[in-house]
Amino acid sequence: MRAGLMLALALAGALAAAPVAAAPDQTLGPALLSAVVDSDGSLARGAGAVSSARLGTGQYEVIFNRDVRDCTYGATVGSAATGGLAPSAASPARRLGQDNGVFVRVSAGTTGNNIDRPFHLTAFCVR
């Protein structure tokens, strides 16, 4: 288990250091991008994240510095600082009409209704 964790951390470090500019063959290359977004939609921090915005209750947009259409996304509700949050879920999806964007919907765990909560987003890109 420990060896697997060390391998995952080494891979994440290598991908985070990977270039996000186009390679000579016009592919983008691998990248691990991230964003931490506050409940008001402001970008707290991130790697490759350019901006974020609250579009409506529980609806957010995160813009990265590269095309993320072919990436894999993961999101979880979590504070930019510390402290617990009420049960809720974050669901990422490709942002239609924005090649560099990811849409994130945050919903209450008890009702499923949209709710404003901070979240952490990752995008793993292999090309």
- Contact status, residue 37 vs residue 104, Cβ threshold 8 Å: yes
The Cα angle at residue 50 between residues 9 and 27, in degrees rounded to 5: 65
User: DSSP letters of 31-76?
Assistant: EEEEEEE-TTS-EEEEESEEEEEEEETTEEEEEESS--TT-EEEEE
| Pairwise CA distance, residues 26 & 8, whole Å | 27
- 3-state class (DSSP) for residue 3: helix
Residue by residue, pLDDT tens for the chain (127 residues) are: 444 434 344 444 544 444 445 444 445 678 899 999 999 999 999 999 999 999 999 999 999 999 999 999 999 998 888 766 777 888 889 898 899 999 999 999 778 899 999 999 999 998 7
Q: Could you identify the residue written with the tokens 């996000």?
A: 20
